[in-house]
Structure 1
């Protein structure tokens, strides 16, 4: 039987009301903060998703099915050669050193190097066949050079070629080219005259 002079029932009701109000306040705060947790990006501002890092981008790609270790070697003007045993210089960084499908969780045989800035002068790009566990020859490597100048919205391809490797230890110059201070290809500067980079890394 309800006793109007008993405070026990009132204290239980007050406690439940306080909990309900606190919970309602918390839900309101969460709803008010949700739009600010991950604001929608402005169109055209998705730099990480659309624009590659670095200014000069060199990529090498070969048959994904092979356990073949092809190494990319690059050299910027006035800098040391950069490759698997010297992954960074003043200008270039080797960002991916791929060993082929051997000990590789991915199915892509791909190496890439990026530069910081675009110093004017000659760039040299080599590929070197370090190891071919499948003993399948020849190995064909697709090499692409792209440049993203400061005044451009994206990276423009300036050179692309297909290099043939016939034996382990072979180092081939894919191409050499000169860039101007504006990051433009100097006319007539693109060629493939051999320049050793791996042996000259020191």
Structure 2
């Protein structure tokens, strides 16, 4: 049986994808800024958080390559571009590099250089979470530097981990971070030990 990469579903409207991604990024930055200026804002109920953790996977702006985020939760369910909800995890958008970062409106092309996928954890499930990046497709046949940031939202914004790894070629997978949560949402372990979670399908 031949081994290949997962096949994508039909195209979605890139305009709405881009708008939703920009909105999520703006809200995330706004919440971080407010909490940084006023650590007691969350306690006062001024900035209601909609997630417990946020995982951001990004690669250089304007990069033509398609990098996918894969996350395995403690129950063994895996989040990826064809399974955007897994347990309490949610993937906001499948960023396909140059392929879905521009729209044509009234004869004018609008584009976004941002290369980013955001995963939110909407509740606390104790156990290990594995965050991988998969170099799905290449527009320039060059290595890609992929960064990950894990932010704990409650009770106030706190950066748990940030790091960057280079993925050499199309088809390669790298474990960006593995983190373990306890019953209260505390992070008890962080490591980057490799673990393959990308699902392969026969072609």
What's the TM-score, normalizing by structure 2? 0.68
- In 1: Cα distance, 2:113 partner to 2:170 partner: 22
Q: Which residue of 1 aligns with 2:75?
A: 78
Q: Which residue of 1 aligns with 2:109?
A: none
Q: Which residue of 2 aligns with 1:145?
A: 150
Answer yes or no: is 1:124 the counterpart of 2:130: yes
Per-residue deviation, residues 126-183 of structure 1 (Å, max 9, x unmatched): 0000011122x2210110111223xx1x221111110110010111101111111111
Per-residue deviation, residues 81-127 of structure 1 (Å, max 9, x unmatched): 10112111121111121011223122200001111201111111000
Moved over 4 A (4+): 43-46
- In 1: Cα distance, 2:149 partner to 2:52 partner: 14
Using the TM superposition, give the Cα deviation of residue 46 of structure 1 relative to its aligned residue in structure 2, in angstroms: 4.9
- 3-state secondary structure, aligned to 1:96: coil
Answer yes or no: is 1:60 the counterpart of 2:66: no
Equivalent in 158, 166, 169 of residue 156 of structure 1 = 158
- In 1: Cα distance, 2:147 partner to 2:196 partner: 19
Equivalent in 55, 72, 96 of residue 93 of structure 2 = 96
Aligned CA RMSD, in angstroms, stands at 2.0
Q: Unpaired runs of 5+ in structure 1?
A: 1-42
Change (3 A) 1:200 1:115: farther
Q: Unpaired runs of 5+ in structure 2?
A: 1-37, 103-111
- Larger strand fraction of residues: 2
Tell me which structure has the larger Cα radius of gyration: 1
